[in-house]
Structure 1
Amino acid sequence: MKKYCLAVDLKNDQKLIAEYEDWHKKVWPEIIESIHQSGIVSMEIYRVGNRLFMIMKTTADFSFEQKAAMDAANSKVQEWEQLMWNYQQSLPFAKPGEKWVLMENIFSI
């Protein structure tokens, strides 16, 4: 099993943040299915202020490239991602078009 941590910012608007959290209380079943089909075993998202932090545990053969290809071919995932982009914004140092940014592990015991 592998573990990945990623971050993205929300637009700094309390109404939008509340809406984003509401959407995550009722994630579409097709999105949950897509997450599991890609090799993600578990996923958690935490928030502090307008920053989001995601922890993903995946199968050993999980691939971000394969997940991206699966997502691109799934119209429901594309619809969800477009909807979520109304609430999210790139981190200041993200590459153009990059949403969630993979974090580097700098300490572990």
Structure 2
Amino acid sequence: MGFLGILGSALGGLFSGGSSNALMGQYSAVAEQSRQQEARQAIETMQQSMQNSAMQHEMQQISAQVKNDQALSNNVQQLATDMQSNAQSNMKSSLQKLSQSAAA
């Protein structure tokens, strides 16, 4: 049997009643598997998106807290500088008063 005979035989088998139903069943099974896979991928994508969103929100909160902590640190540093300056000024004033008292 030549190539055309083999091809004709194969095509005839594909389109006979029983084989056609079997092919449709296989197609339906493949289509269902594909649909389920797409649904799983959509769920995984949504879960990843939600996780990324939660992580982004947490990072924003951490960033805001770091900025707040830095502002507090700057305030404490400024207070320490002011206290040191005031202490030096008070010491200078006290020394002047002592010098004036000693001279009098």
Query: TM-score, length-normalised on structure 1?
Result: 0.23
Q: Which structure's residues are more often strand, by fraction?
A: 1
Higher RCO (C-alpha under 8 Å, 6+ residues apart): 1
Query: TM-score, length-normalised on structure 2?
Result: 0.24
When Rg is computed on C-alpha atoms for both structures, the one with the higher figure is: 2
